[in-house]
Amino acid sequence: MKYPPALSRLSFSWYSENAVATVIFAVLALLPAFLSGYVIYIVPQYLLYGVLAMSLALLWGVAGILSFGQAAFFALGAYAMGLAPHWTSSVDPFYLALLVSLLIGAVLAGVVGYFLFSAGVRDVYFVLVTLALSIMTEQITVSQSDITGGYNGMFIPRAQLSFGGVSLDLSADVPMYYTILPIVIGIYVLLRLVVASRFGKVLVGIRENEDRVLSLGFRTSLYKTAAFALSGAVAGLAGALYGTHASFVSPSLAGVLFSTQVVVWVAIGGRESLLGALLGAVGVAALSNYLTAITPEYWQLVVGIVFVIVIMAFRGGVAGALIRLGSRPPMEPERG
Amino acid sequence: MSDAGTLLAVHDLCVAYGRSQVLFNVGLTAPHRGGVAVLGRNGAGKTTLMKTIIGELRNKSGSVRFAGREITQLATEQRVRLGLGYVPQEHGVFARLSVRDNLTVGALGGRRHDGIERALAIFPKLGQRLGQTAGTLSGGERKMLAIGRALLGEPKLLLLDEPTEGVWVGVIDEIADRLRALAQEIAVVIVEQHLQLALSVADQAYVLDRGRVALVGPSAEIRDDPRLLQYLAP
């Protein structure tokens, strides 16, 4: 039997988000033709923050699991990019770093998630453990200064890509821009497909009512572990790309402050929309950068006020408010 | 009832919330087909019994056997995979998912590819609501969706906790008809305040009073038992 297209609020937001994302990515693809200099340098960095935010949106917005540990995976990915040239001379260290960052994020999140979720750790207790994960990662990067450079951080040369006989120098901003943008788009599309898949629907069910999903026969701990592992892998990959883009990584990248910033980006952008999370990160990071230049003493206060206003006015973030605005009003339940 | 004809066997079940004991040595059996009603006033322990059988609550002592297997220590999802289905009293559907997505999630736990069609055959009204978010359904439609979704797991025994609570009286008969038909195919254990409905679905009835089984017997005998009203009166 073929069913008619869904008319629900969720499906409305699905199609409208696809349309908005297409326009935004098209504009981003054309940006270097019209702009140059600092904008073309900094936009890829904001987009990588956006990928980090999407990794949290997958976990928090889709599965209902809030994590303060995403910065840890991001930092480990960046350190992997910095350390990869020391590990091999036979394989291109850029590709090796990408692979290692994916694996380290997935494995660390998978192992931590498996034990926590299997033990029934939920809600605020999970938040606390992931917060501890960030703190531990920061402390380890400080204490292992022989490898990581400690508080001084680590310089990472920009990568030289090679495909067969062709090489691409990413030290210039435009090649770097056009290397990162397709990866960001690819990750966005991949995560959208995951959310729309049956796996994604089970995750939404877990967010809505985990006991009901259990009573349908699902081992929810495995689904949550898989979501956390995927989220860790995406955050790790974003971190590796950030490392080569920023050419520097320091322990603060894994710290509590940065972890909290990620949560703020997603809360402002809208945790139930991957695009909302992406744009939330880009918007807040750009605003913070601008405010740092014009009011270095008070920029955090301004960002804090924006955060409070958005959360008070729109609990689902800006994207949640736009989806509700664009949707038909909810139908009144009929009698019976 | 012989063991060979018993699908579910609950023995001496004791359950407590902290220090407050709610069930005291409760016993209950259900055959492979047919209905079993669990009656009692509010607070008698009916929902606690259902949640303990499905594994959402742990018992202090006693045992639950299903299809000849001890399941007392199994997790909820393992019990469901063995053939138990559960429709809770409240929050039975994923309110922010569409009807279709609710059924899709339910079908993932089942083994049949035609699961959703089967649920729509039992409750055709859901077919007109596939794209609608479940939170906007009427009370009766939500119950139909919750029951239909539970059936997608192909349970051998379905636990129903107050399937007509919050349902308009005009829809209660429709749900009752489906439950009576269902009880011809599988085992149905129904907790219900609507006495006539429960006894029309069930061949056997248990009456709980303050966590203990006060009456047990064929539905026809329970219906005529003069003590029934005493145990059901508020």
Task: Verify whether the Cβ–Cβ distance A8 to B150 is below 8 Å.
Answer: no
Looking at residue B96, what is its pLDDT?
86
The residue of chain B with its CA nearest to that of A202 is B105
Residues of B in contact with A204 (CB under 8 A): 94, 96-97, 101
Report yes or no on B14 lying in a domain.
no
Residue spans of alpha helices (H) in chain B: 46-54, 76-82, 99-108, 115-122, 139-151, 169-182, 195-201, 219-224, 228-232
CATH code of A9-326, in short, is 1.10.3470
Task: Verify whether the Cβ–Cβ distance A198 to B153 is below 8 Å.
Answer: no
pLDDT confidence tier of residue B166, bands split at 50, 70 and 90: confident
Q: Measured between CA atoms, how close is B101 to chain A, in angstroms?
A: 7
Report yes or no on B5 lying in a domain.
no
Beta bridge partners of A162: A167
Report yes or no on B44 lying in a domain.
no
Identify the residue among A215, A223, A334, A335 best suited for mutation to test binding to B, counting B beta carbons within 10 A and taking the highest: A215
Task: Verify whether the Cβ–Cβ distance A208 to B94 is below 8 Å.
Answer: yes
With beta carbons less than 8 A apart as the criterion, state whether A73 and A228 touch.
Answer: no
Q: Which residue has the tokens 């220090």?
A: B19
> Rounded to two decimals, what is the model's pTM?
0.87
Looking at residue B214, what is its pLDDT?
93
Q: Which of helix, strand or coil describes residue B34?
A: strand
d(C-alpha A128, C-alpha A297), whole Å? 30
Q: Where are the domains of chain A?
A: 9-326
d(C-alpha A315, C-alpha A303), whole Å? 17
Looking at residue A328, what is its pLDDT?
52
- Residue B191, phi then psi, degrees to nearest 5: -100, 125
The total of other beta-carbon atoms located within 10 Å of residue A46's CB is 18
* Block mean pLDDT (10 aa), chain A, length 336: 41 75 95 90 97 97 95 96 85 90 97 95 93 95 92 89 81 93 97 93 93 91 97 97 94 92 93 93 93 87 88 81 64 48
Task: Verify whether the Cβ–Cβ distance A201 to B105 is below 8 Å.
Answer: yes
Looking at residue A89, what is its pLDDT?
74
Question: Tokens for A154?
Answer: 């680590």
Looking at residue B105, what is its pLDDT?
86
Task: Verify whether the Cβ–Cβ distance A215 to B94 is below 8 Å.
Answer: no
Identify the residue among B80, B94, B142 best suited for mutation to test binding to A, counting A beta carbons within 10 A and taking the highest: B94
Residues of B in contact with A214 (CB under 8 A): 56, 75-77, 80
Report yes or no on B125 lying in a domain.
yes
Looking at residue B28, what is its pLDDT?
96
A2: which DSSP letter?
Answer: P
Looking at residue B110, what is its pLDDT?
59
> Which residues 108-147 on chain B approach chain A with CB closer than 8 angstroms?
108-109, 116-117, 120, 130-133, 135-141
With 0-12 / 13-18 / 19 or more C-beta atoms within 10 angstroms meaning exposed / middle / buried, residue A189 is middle
Residues of A in contact with B90 (CB under 8 A): none
C-alpha torsion sign, points A58, A62, A63, A67:
positive
d(C-alpha A270, C-alpha A266), whole Å? 6
d(C-alpha A196, C-alpha A217), whole Å? 21
pLDDT in tens, B70-101: 999 999 999 999 999 999 988 789 988 889 98
Beta strands in chain A (DSSP E): 154-155, 160-163, 166-169, 248-249
The kind and range of the H/E element at A320 are helix A317-326
- Residue A172, phi then psi, degrees to nearest 5: -85, 155
d(C-alpha A42, C-alpha A200), whole Å? 32
For A8-45, b/e burial (b = at least 16 CB within 10 A) is bbbbbbbebbeebbeebbeebeeebeeeeeeebeebbb
Q: Which residue has the tokens 């063991």?
A: B3
Task: Verify whether the Cβ–Cβ distance A204 to B149 is below 8 Å.
Answer: no
Beta bridge partners of B204: B36, B218
The residue of chain A with its CA nearest to that of B170 is A336
Nearest to A104 by CA among A247, A229, A262, A252: A229
Question: Tokens for B130?
Answer: 């596939």
Question: Tokens for A188?
Answer: 């966005």
Looking at residue A167, what is its pLDDT?
83
Average pLDDT value for residue range B120-132: 89
The proportion of chain B whose per-residue pLDDT surpasses 70, expressed as a percent, equals 94
Structural domain boundaries, residue B116: 93-154
Query: How many domains, in total, are found in chain B?
Result: 1
Report yes or no on B77 lying in a domain.
no
d(C-alpha B41, C-alpha A268), whole Å? 48
d(C-alpha B79, C-alpha A214), whole Å? 10
Looking at residue A72, what is its pLDDT?
96
Report yes or no on B67 lying in a domain.
no
The residue of chain B with its CA nearest to that of A329 is B136
Q: Which of helix, strand or coil describes residue B133?
A: strand
Nearest to A320 by CA among A264, A284, A273, A281: A273
Report yes or no on B48 lying in a domain.
no
The residue of chain B with its CA nearest to that of A200 is B105
